[in-house]
Amino acid sequence: MRVVVQRVSEAQVKVKSEIIGQIEQGLMVLVGIETEDSEKDVQWLCKKIVHLRIFDDEAGVMNKSLLDVDGNILAISQFTLHAKTKKGNRPSYIAAAKPEISIPLYEKFVACLEKESGKKVETGKFGAEMQVSLINDGPVTIVMDTKNKE
């Protein structure tokens, strides 16, 4: 699994001009799932994301986690995170998992984030054309891939 985690002061996702998910201070997480990904990857990422110390403390040092600042999460599925761009100019998405694999793992990912954070996680709509907007606070953007966890 590959995620892009952005510290935000606000974020929202729309489908057909209707807001279906929005948060204020917290994390916007784009998540891409590959065929080989498993529940172990979900568990590792959830713990890592919720406990990442990327929010400023009183001294202005990134030393607080999402839990410390009582932040929220907006999680958006995004198969394009697994784009291969080595050949030609049209990205290949062959590494991205098919819906029969990715939908259940995405749902487990969201449920795991809810359990770890103790809050409802806002989401987009899997497979839909979405418009995502955010104010990246910092900016702070971190990319994590479960293939690099060891």
Scanning the structure block, which residue is given the tokens 């057909």?
Answer: 16
Q: Kind of pairing, strands 55-56 and 62-64?
A: antiparallel
CA–CA gap between residue 80 and residue 86 (Å, rounded): 14
By the 8 A CB rule, do 80 and 93 touch?
A: yes
CA–CA gap between residue 63 and residue 83 (Å, rounded): 32
Catalytic residue among 6, 12, 78, 123: 78
Catalytic residue among 6, 12, 55, 79: 79
79 is catalytic: yes
Catalytic residue among 35, 80, 131, 141: 80
DSSP states of 45-92 as a string?
HHHHHHH---EE-TTS-EEE-TTTTT-EEEEEE-GGGG-B-SSSSS-B
State the catalytic residues.
78-80
